[in-house]
Amino acid sequence: MATYSAYLETGDSGTCMAHVLHPSGPIPLGSSLPGCFARADDRETALRRVPAAIREYMDWLCRHGETDLPKADPIQIELAGESHGMGPFNPGDAAALFAPDIPPITHKEMERYFRLMAYARADLLAVFVDESLKSDEVLDWQPNAQAFSIRHTLRHVGN
């Protein structure tokens, strides 16, 4: 069983984002999960969504050829930190800083993070290969009134 640490950012409205930074305990190189998160309207739902987010993240890594991954099932979540009143919910919002974010990263970790960023960039570019997807109508589409548009999401990621 893999145990992962979740760090919660809860906004003033109660909206919550659970960040999954790494499995708990000693952190072997390659086991961090930068960018793995679950978001919900409340903390309980965000925490409940974390195992699925981890599985999706692991699947994404496998699709990009990462093979040295910790076993993802069954997954246990432990709450390792919580920050209230802030969250990266809109471009420019202040984001929480958790204990694992503070120590400097190593050269090997940097190389891995750059590789992961290259995967994300390639996935993003693949979406926009078709010129018709670059229209304002597509970029400003929202699945519902509370959701980010594609343009808003891209700006958020860029920030």
Q: Give me the pLDDT at residue 28, please.
A: 53
Convert the pLDDT of each residue in 117-136 to its tens digit. 899 888 887 877 766 666 78
In the structure, what pLDDT confidence band is assigned to residue 47 with cuts at 50, 70 and 90? Answer: very high
- Average pLDDT over every residue of 78-100: 75
In the structure, what pLDDT confidence band is assigned to residue 18 with cuts at 50, 70 and 90? Answer: very high
Q: Give me the pLDDT at residue 133, please.
A: 67
Higher-confidence position of 45 and 22 = 45
The torsion angle over the Cα atoms of residues 55, 33, 80 and 41, rounded to 10 degrees, is: -60
CA distance 134 to 105: 36
The torsion angle over the Cα atoms of residues 59, 92, 86 and 56, rounded to 10 degrees, is: -10
Average predicted confidence (pLDDT) for the chain? 81
The torsion angle over the Cα atoms of residues 52, 56, 58 and 59, rounded to 10 degrees, is: 140
- Average pLDDT over every residue of 51-59: 92
> What's the burial of 68, exposed, middle or buried (CB within 10 Å: 0-12/13-18/19+)?
exposed
Convert the pLDDT of each residue in 21-42 to its tens digit. 765 555 554 557 888 999 999 9
**Terminal alpha carbon distance of the chain:** 35
Strands (E), the chain: 2-10, 16-23, 37-40, 75-84
Higher-confidence position of 145 and 7 = 7
